[in-house]
Amino acid sequence: MQKRQIPASGGLTYGGTSRNEMGMTQAPSSSRPLRVTRAPAPLAGTVAVPGDKSISHRALMFSALAEGETRIIGLLEGEDVLRTADAMRALGAHITRDENGRWHVRGRGLGALTEPSDVLDMGNSGTAARLLSGILASHGMMSVMTGDASLRRRPMKRVTDPLAGTGATFLAREGGRLPLAIQGNATPAPLDYRLPVASAQVKSAVLLAGLNAAGETRVEEPVPTRDHTENMLRHFGAQVAVEETPEGGRIIRLQGKPHLIARDVTVPGDPSSAAFVLVAALLVAGSDVVISNVGLNPLRTGLFTTLREMGARLDITNERTEGGEPVGDLHVQASSLQAVDVPAERAPSMIDEYPILAVAAGFATGISRFRGVEELRVKESDRLASTVALLEKNGVRTKVDGDDLIIYGTQGAIPGGGTVETHMDHRLAMSASILGLVAENPVEIDDTAFIDTSFPGYFPLLNSLGAGFAA
Ligand code: S3P
């Protein structure tokens, strides 16, 4: 994988985004359109994808709340995570990157973050904005958070409504959108909250507010969502108990005011990034690819289950546990795929994978149905609408039936020839690029710059397997 130089500070350029003299991230300066043509040959080789985005955000935030110095190995150096690093610095944590690519965070200790002197700009990242809200609500200070045009469209009431119960106050734009002003409470009340939507971000915001609250914080989720917050809080010394409900949900109980102590964190490769390489290898005829060191947390691997149901030749080897999370290597070979019916309960374990699964379903034989995918409407773009447009513009028929997405497979003959609008959505851009590798006619993508939010080095990595992108 191509490595980039990440400045600890200084006016260097990182991806499509520049960093000013304080090392703070600036908005992407220009768009990067791309024309994608068919892969010239089968994809072959072994690659490692960048670190997990969810785990990387949490590692920076939790270590900033801990006492002592945490070392983070394999941190995702994508724009979203760099925003979190900037924000935690602005809140008083000391964060550096050494010459070996390891990150060092000297935390402030729980309740001891300092008031930021400027607006916190979370860029494109919903995870950064929502998780940080929980931390800011439970510290006795005033802060203002904003984001880019995509993030400023996304709903924040889903976190500010429960967090108001701590005694914090919020002032937001119409519809509860960013910019958001937060007057935190130094003595927050512990929350008892049942999630109305299956969202790990909302669960995490409530749990993080509970860290600085005396007593027990309780969150009930009707369907289990990714549990990186629970796992990593335990790793840093918090008491977190999890109980399954008879209905298949979970109840999480956190004891407030834990003594959080710095602990090293090893970040596995992101299964949501591996998804793009995996589907490319399944669809480009004759491909044989290994993706090493991929996180295999069962609450993240719904795509692997689904692709296997479609007939994917996908083996997991070298399974092991690293940094408290299961990891393994994915061996994938080009396969002829059949349509699939994805149950709604599986959505949380593959919520970010629907756009690339839609490309696989468009290439497959038969009619696929993705059930209960309403949450796609509030991602970096309205992903239900943008995924439909991606397919339709390239000759794949679709239908939205209530909250279900139906895709009419082309039996390996996606016409292509469309121009795709990515709406500041990294996963749409990557999905469009994989569709272009297997379509009959070239595909135009309006902007690939946002891929840097989650997958720096995306095009060089796929080109090392033989994809032949002109990027
Ligand atoms: C994430 C949770 C998911 C996911 C996002 C990362 C997290 O969002 O889409 O990319 O790290 O907690 P929701 O909680 O809104 O489903």
- How close is the Cα of 200 to the center of ligand 1, in Å? 6
The CB of 127 under 6 Å from ligand 1? The reply is yes
Query: Burial code of 229-253, b = ≥16 C-beta within 10 A, e = fewer?
Result: bbbbbbbbebebeeeeeeeebbebb
**Which atom of ligand 1 is the closest one to the Cα of 351?**
9
Token pair, residue 340, equals: 């699939």
Across the chain, which has 471 residues, the per-10-residue mean pLDDT values are 38 41 52 98 98 98 98 98 98 98 98 98 98 98 98 98 98 94 98 98 98 98 98 97 97 98 98 99 98 98 98 98 92 98 98 99 99 98 98 98 98 98 98 98 98 98 98 87
Q: Which fold has domain 5-51+268-464?
A: UDP-n-acetylglucosamine1-carboxyvinyl-transferase; Chain (3.65.10)
- How close is the Cα of 251 to the center of ligand 1, in Å? 18
Q: Say what the pLDDT of residue 5 is.
A: 42
Residue 366's Cβ-side half-sphere holds a number of Cα atoms within 13 Å equal to 10
Residue 53 labeled ligand binder: yes
Counting DSSP H helices and E strands in the chain, the numbers are 12, 25
The CB of 381 under 6 Å from ligand 1? The reply is no
- How close is the Cα of 388 to the center of ligand 1, in Å? 21
**Which atom of ligand 1 is the closest one to the Cα of 201?**
14
The CB of 433 under 6 Å from ligand 1? The reply is no
- How close is the Cα of 127 to the center of ligand 1, in Å? 6
CB count in 10 Å sphere of residue 314: 19
Specify the domain boundaries for CATH 3.65.10.10 within the chain.
5-51+268-464, 53-266
Is residue 456 within 8 A of residue 1, CB to CB? The reply is no
The CB of 54 under 6 Å from ligand 1? The reply is yes
Mutate which of 156, 299, 351, 376 for ligand 1? The one with the most ligand atoms within 8 Å of its CB, which is 351
Atom 9 of ligand 1: nearest residue by CA position: 352
Token pair, residue 420, equals: 């795709």
The CB of 226 under 6 Å from ligand 1? The reply is yes
Q: Say what the pLDDT of residue 449 is.
A: 98
CA distances from 283 to 276, 419, 463 (A): 11, 21, 16
Mutate which of 127, 131, 150, 232 for ligand 1? The one with the most ligand atoms within 8 Å of its CB, which is 127
User: Exposed/middle/buried for 88, CB within 10 Å: 0-12, 13-18, 19+?
Assistant: buried
- Angle subtended at Cα 96 by Cα 81 and Cα 292, rounded to the nearest 5 degrees: 55
Q: Say what the pLDDT of residue 322 is.
A: 85
Residue 125 labeled ligand binder: no
Q: Say what the pLDDT of residue 463 is.
A: 98
The CB of 273 under 6 Å from ligand 1? The reply is no
Please state the pTM of the whole predicted model: 0.95
Distance CA 129, CA 142 (A): 15
Q: Which of 86, 270, 352, 447 is catalytic?
A: 352
Q: Say what the pLDDT of residue 29 is.
A: 58
CA distances from 202 to 120, 261, 408, 438, 444 (A): 19, 24, 34, 37, 36
Q: Say what the pLDDT of residue 471 is.
A: 87
Closest CA to 31 of 16, 13, 14: 16
Atom 15 of ligand 1: nearest residue by CA position: 199
Closest CA to 57 of 165, 175, 256, 208: 208
Q: How many residues does the chain have?
A: 471
Residue 154 labeled ligand binder: yes
Residue 427 labeled ligand binder: yes
Q: What string of DSSP letters covers 135-160?
A: HHHTSSSEEEEE--TTGGGS--HHHH
**E-assigned strands of 137-229?**
142-146, 169-173, 177-183, 192-194, 216-221
The CB of 332 under 6 Å from ligand 1? The reply is no
Token pair, residue 22, equals: 């304080």
Active site residue 121: no
Query: Terminus-to-terminus CA distance in the chain, angstroms?
Result: 15
**Which atom of ligand 1 is the closest one to the Cα of 348?**
16
Q: Which fold has domain 53-266?
A: UDP-n-acetylglucosamine1-carboxyvinyl-transferase; Chain (3.65.10)
